[in-house]
Amino acid sequence: MIRICTSVPLPPAALPVLPSLESLTGLKEDCVFYDIETTGTSVEKANIYLIGMGRLLEKRMDMVQLFAEDLSEEADILKAFQEELCGASSTVQYNGSSFDQPFIRKKCSLYGLSCILDSLPALDLYRSLSGFKSVLGLSSLRQRDLEERLGGTAREFPDGRKGISLYKAYLRDPEEVYSNLLIGHNREDLSGMGLILSCFSLEQLRRGMFHVLTAGMEGESVSIRCSVEVPFPTGIQLQKDGVHLDGEGSCFTIRLIMKDGRLRKYYPDYKNYDYLPAEDTAIPKSLGKFMDRSLRKPAVKETCYTWFPVTDAFLADRILQYAVVRDLLPVILNN
């Protein structure tokens, strides 16, 4: 088994997120990023030949990579991986809840090893950021596509699929040219996760972490401009259900199309509401139970709203404007 230690600078786009990392993600500084490389997707037929880990240290990511020089070393890198995780508060992966974590758990079980992952909270970057796919203008959240959207540098090393044939070539002829390509790819995956951390500035939209700056009417719409503390890593834009969202840097503007001089006010506790299709409004279930069932149905996020008139009082009320935008954003960000 080869153990490689490296330290790489975090991308500049990720640095503004770090002071607010715990409030935005729940992650603490002693979390560990990790990524595995395997000879296939079947746990029973494939092997783990490389596990890479990264820890945040100020403006850098310190990496440890465990490379199996032979398939017989799979259990060894699993044991070493778990030793490296001692003292970690949590783990971070990209689509790890669907692949990396169950793969490791199953392998540990096959070798009769206890699995430390069972006792550590985990954050899957892919799942956590899935609600922002549309606002980022992406049709998929493949890691390479997301890195490119964030302005990351072009990758130099072959992808994981090509890595399978490269590792087989290494087993036949253990030349460094093969192992360097495999280790380089894994290092790029870890570095890419560091860049992707910058996307968590978008969590400010979902968590109501913003301030209203101005509000005003523009024809048949109301525009509300807001500021955030952590700047967005790239421009964002979304149009959905009469809502136009544009953002860049530390500001975003949300434009709401009025209907007969009215706007929607959403309610996050939608399970406590019924929706009345004929009236296009929601009412509390405590009232809905007195109505004919054919006139109502359980509200969902997208239908849990009432209407209110846009008045001068609303345009002057920053608190009410904030509440309207705060409760609307999780709805339109829900892909």
Residues 108, 231: one domain?
no
Q: What is the DSSP string of 125-150?
A: HHHHTGGGTTTTT-S---HHHHHHHT
What is the value of pTM for the model shown?
0.88
Q: Mean pLDDT of all residues in the chain? A: 93
Residues 24, 79: one domain?
yes
More confident residue, 274 or 30: 274
pLDDT at 41: 87
pLDDT at 84: 93
Residues 167, 60: one domain?
yes
Residues 23, 160: one domain?
yes
Residues 231, 149: one domain?
no
pLDDT at 335: 59
Q: What's the whole-number mean pLDDT along residues 149-177?
A: 88
Residues 148, 226: one domain?
no
Task: Tell me the C-alpha distance between 94 and 34, whole Å.
Answer: 8
Cα distances from 226 to residues 18, 223, 318, in angstroms, run 22, 10, 10
**Boundary-marking domain end, from 178, 202, 226:** 202
**Boundary-marking domain end, from 153, 168, 202:** 202
Do 84 and 98 form a contact (C-beta atoms < 8 A)?
Answer: no
Angle at 97 between CA 95 and CA 101, to 5 degrees: 110
Closest-CA residue to 261 (of 328, 314, 211, 300): 314
Indicate the pairing of strand 305-309 with strand 2-9. unpaired
CATH code for the domain in which residue 194 is found: 3.30.420.10
> Is the residue at 297 inside a domain?
no
Domain that holds residue 235: 208-268+304-332
Q: Which of 12-21, 216-225, 271-280 has the lowest mean pLDDT?
A: 12-21
Residues 309, 240: one domain?
yes
Quick: pLDDT tens for 107-126.
999 999 999 998 999 999 99
**Boundary-marking domain end, from 173, 202, 231:** 202
Closest-CA residue to 151 (of 13, 16, 10, 9): 13
> Is the residue at 46 inside a domain?
yes
Quick: pLDDT tens for 298-321.
999 999 999 999 999 999 999 999
Q: Which residues contact 301 (CB under 8 A, 6 or more apart)?
A: 266, 270, 330, 331, 334
Residues 27, 176: one domain?
yes
